[in-house]
């Protein structure tokens, strides 16, 4: 995604590709090997899309959900992919960057699918970000669906949206087929601000959201595309949220949009949390921009 130019022996931005003998070598994130940790999360869970997803709400029943309402007694397999195409100053999962043995636990798609049982009704890939390891996640997902023998097993992605568009098409196709969704975390609207906060551009993210909306118009329920934005005090407020909301509304005013409260962490651990006043200002701005499905998330963090 970042179109890295690597000198001899250098790593790319995500740390998974390197210049080895003037050829790009993938240390992980291929269809055969990946770096991940995973755990089971009982449903309903605190997913950013919990208010509109088949596992935690009444969306998608009966074709995409095992029950009318939250799938109590079932679980999500949460798969943390340990690499990222962004380097957000406020990252909540930054600790994987400090692990000098990050490449030690190379694992196969089979090791992931072995964690799935008959009470697993969805898989959510997050991180880090799925983008640098999408070939691995796609291979594992297809293997999991073969083993599921047609029962409900949704494939979902929580991502900054920076992946290659060809890989996005494959990931989205799996979500559309299984009743899952793609959750795009939009850091900001302004590209300069995005570079300051994440180290890179947001152009690919915005282009990919537009592509995903076009490709998923034939499946309105459950919602295939979810958007979210972290309200960072002093940086990402009503002006950024308003611009993002206008963009989303121009694509589809029914796109669910989660506004997430900020918690100080990583290199922004000296800041305060999002205020309730800012959150409600952002919510009103997003509604005025034309979006009809908006939720304030992490309300316990509001000050």
What's the structural domain count of the chain?
1
Q: Is residue 82 part of a domain?
A: yes
Read off the pLDDT of residues 88-107 as tens digits, 9 standing for 90 and up: 999 998 888 776 455 567 99
The mean pLDDT of 221-238, rounded to a whole number, is 97
Q: Residue 135 is part of which domain span? A: 17-301
The mean pLDDT of 56-82, rounded to a whole number, is 95
Residue 87 reports pLDDT greater than 60? yes
The mean pLDDT of 199-214, rounded to a whole number, is 97
Q: Is residue 161 part of a domain?
A: yes
Number of Cα atoms under 13 Å in the Cβ half of residue 249? 16
- Name the more confident of 97 and 187: 187
Alpha helices (H) in the chain, listed in sequence order: 109-113, 134-148, 165-178, 191-198, 203-215, 238-251, 276-288
pLDDT band at 44 (very low <50, low <70, confident <90, very high): very high
The answer for residues whose C-beta is within 8 angstroms of residue 43's C-beta and 6 or more apart is 55, 56, 70, 71, 72, 73, 74, 75, 76, 121, 122
Cis peptide before 62 (omega within 30 of 0): yes
Structure confidence at residue 1 (pLDDT): 83
Cis peptide before 84 (omega within 30 of 0): no
Whole-number percent of the chain with pLDDT over 70: 98
Structure confidence at residue 100 (pLDDT): 44
Is 11 within 8 Å of 18 (Cβ atoms)? yes
Dist CA 160 CA 203 (whole Å): 11
Mean pLDDT over each residue of the chain, to the nearest integer: 95
Is 71 within 8 Å of 55 (Cβ atoms)? yes
Q: Is residue 11 part of a domain?
A: no
Whole-number Cα distances in Å, 138 to 168, 174, 235: 10, 8, 34
The answer for residues whose C-beta is within 8 angstroms of residue 46's C-beta and 6 or more apart is none
Q: Is residue 212 part of a domain?
A: yes
Q: Is residue 6 part of a domain?
A: no
Q: Is residue 257 part of a domain?
A: yes
Structure confidence at residue 135 (pLDDT): 97
The mean pLDDT of 177-201, rounded to a whole number, is 98
Structure confidence at residue 104 (pLDDT): 62
Q: Is residue 75 part of a domain?
A: yes
Q: Is residue 4 part of a domain?
A: no
Least confident of 58-72, 87-101, 138-152, 191-205: 87-101
Dist CA 262 CA 230 (whole Å): 6
Residue 96's domain is classified under what CATH number?
Answer: 3.20.20.70
244 SS3 class: helix
The mean pLDDT of 232-242, rounded to a whole number, is 98
Structure confidence at residue 102 (pLDDT): 57
């Amino acid at each position: 995604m970042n179109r890295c130019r690597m000198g001899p022996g250098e790593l790319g931005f995500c740390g998974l590709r390197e210049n080895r003998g003037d050829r790009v070598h993938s240390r992980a994130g291929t269809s055969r090997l990946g770096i991940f940790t995973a755990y089971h999360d009982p449903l309903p869970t605190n997913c950013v899309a919990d208010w509109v997803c088949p596992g935690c709400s009444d969306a998608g029943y009966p074709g995409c959900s095992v029950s009318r309402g939250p799938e109590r007694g079932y679980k999500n397999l949460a798969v943390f992919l340990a690499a990222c195409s962004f380097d957000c100053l406020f990252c909540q999962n930054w600790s994987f960057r400090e692990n000098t043995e990050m490449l030690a636990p190379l694992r196969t798609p089979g090791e992931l699918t072995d964690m799935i049982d008959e009470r697993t009704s969805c898989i959510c890939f997050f991180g880090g970000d799925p983008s640098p390891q999408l070939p691995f996640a796609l291979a594992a997902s297809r293997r999991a669906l073969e083993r599921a023998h047609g029962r409900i097993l949704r494939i979902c992605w929580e991502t900054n949206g920076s992946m290659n568009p060809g890989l996005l098409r494959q990931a989205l196709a799996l979500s559309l087929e299984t009743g899952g969704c793609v959750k795009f975390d939009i850091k900001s609207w302004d590209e300069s601000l995005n570079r300051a906060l994440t180290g890179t551009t947001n152009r690919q993210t915005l282009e990919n959201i537009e592509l995903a909306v076009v490709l998923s118009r034939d499946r309105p329920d459950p919602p295939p595309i979810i958007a979210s934005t972290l309200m960072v005090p002093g940086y990402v407020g009503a002006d950024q949220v308003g611009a993002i909301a206008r963009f989303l509304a121009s694509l589809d005013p029914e796109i669910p949009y989660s506004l997430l409260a900020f918690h100080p962490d990583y290199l922004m651990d000296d800041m305060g949390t999002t205020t309730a006043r800012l959150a409600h200002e952002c919510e009103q701005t997003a509604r005025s921009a034309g979006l009809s499905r908006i939720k304030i998330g992490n309300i316990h963090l509001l000050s």
